[in-house]
């Protein structure tokens, strides 16, 4: 009888451990899921996403994946365009301008309107290709809206992203460290610009770390730069999705 009792106690013990383990896994899953989708805005954030240009599949990763990421659970109403001539007609109807393009803005009025959009305190998210020095005939863009930019990057490959300000709202729910494959942009700050607050850095086996997620210290606008985003290795990553949604929410306020 005693042996039987011991066996039952052991069985009960292991059943309890299994239940506790499954509960812990469920709670972890819920925490991760809720971190990515918690507290949707009271009404969808109106976003204009501008893509198009060279060296990137804008239709797949921005028009496709990023639009889906931002549209989930009515988080945002996203309009995507790769026609830069259309941008001017949307600026008075949106909360956030999300620039991802490296194609030129040929219309001077559109350029002026984007600068005015920032001066009026609106929100901008600048993604990957839009953080390059793309437009020699529009130096105000890199000086005032990016406060610098990139003129080079490492060969596409793995590197580590490390949060340096985990308390900022843009970094909420984002892992303190994560690894991905992307183009590691050599982002440099222009000392004549407004300056930036670095939220996360990117580094591979080389000694120097570069800003990867940052806030531009614009006097009026809220601007977030996200240097990640070459292809699906970024856009399909949960950490990237969280960053993007956080950035859009923060600049929209």
Under 8 Å CB-to-CB from 239, ≥6 apart: which residues?
Answer: 161, 174, 175, 178, 180
User: Which pLDDT score is estimated for 20?
Assistant: 52
Distances (CA, A) of 207 to 180, 203, 204, 230: 18, 8, 8, 22
CA-wise closest residue to 245 among 50, 119, 117, 74: 74
- DSSP code, position 81: E
Sheet holding 222-226, edge to edge: 76-81, 45-50, 96-99, 123-127, 222-226, 210-216, 196-203, 157-163, 177-182
- pLDDT in the model for residue 16: 52
Name the residue among 225, 245, 224 with its Cα closest to residue 39: 245
Q: For residues 234 and 29, what is the distance between their CA atoms, to the nearest angstrom?
A: 21
Tokens of 231: 């292809």
pLDDT of residue 6: 46
Helices (H) then strands (E): counts for the chain: 8, 11
Distance CA 96, CA 82 (A): 16
**For every one of its 253 residues, what pLDDT tens digit does the chain have, with 9 covering 90 and above?**
544 554 545 555 556 555 555 544 444 444 444 444 556 788 999 999 999 999 999 999 999 999 999 999 999 999 999 999 999 999 999 999 999 999 999 999 999 999 999 999 999 999 999 999 999 999 999 999 999 999 999 999 999 999 999 999 999 999 999 999 999 999 999 999 999 999 999 999 999 999 999 999 999 999 999 999 999 999 999 999 999 999 999 999 8
Kindly report the number of other CB atoms within 10 A of residue 70's CB atom.
23
pLDDT, residue 40, reads 72
Q: For the chain, how many residues are written? A: 253
Give the per-residue pLDDT at 13. 52
The predicted pLDDT at position 158 comes to 98
Got the DSSP string for 130-144? Answer: GGB---TT-HHIIII
Residue 218 has what pLDDT? 98
pLDDT reported for residue 42: 83
């Amino acid at each position: 009888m005693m042996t039987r009792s011991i066996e039952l106690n052991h069985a009960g013990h292991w059943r309890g451990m299994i239940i506790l383990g499954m509960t812990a896994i469920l709670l972890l899953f819920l925490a991760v899921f809720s971190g990515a989708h918690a507290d949707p805005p009271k009404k969808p954030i109106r976003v204009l996403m501008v893509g198009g240009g060279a060296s990137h599949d804008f239709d797949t990763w921005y028009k496709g994946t990023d639009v889906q990421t931002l549209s989930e659970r009515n988080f945002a109403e996203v309009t995507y365009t790769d026609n830069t001539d259309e941008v001017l007609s949307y600026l008075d109807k949106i909360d956030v301008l999300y620039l991802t393009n490296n194609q030129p803005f040929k219309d001077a009025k559109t350029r002026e309107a984007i600068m005015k959009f920032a001066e009026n305190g609106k929100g901008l998210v600048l993604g990957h290709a839009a953080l390059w020095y793309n437009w020699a005939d529009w130096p105000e863009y890199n000086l005032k809206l990016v406060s610098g930019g990139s003129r080079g990057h490492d060969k596409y490959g793995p590197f580590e992203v490390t949060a340096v300000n985990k308390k900022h709202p843009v970094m909420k729910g984002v892992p303190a460290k994560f690894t991905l494959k992307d183009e590691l942009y050599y982002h440099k700050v222009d000392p004549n610009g407004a300056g930036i607050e670095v939220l996360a850095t990117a580094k591979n086996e080389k000694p120097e770390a570069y800003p990867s997620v940052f806030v531009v210290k614009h006097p009026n606008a809220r601007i977030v730069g996200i240097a990640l985003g070459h292809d699906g290795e970024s856009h399909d990553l949960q950490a990237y999705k969280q960053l993007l949604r956080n950035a859009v929410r923060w600049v929209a306020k």
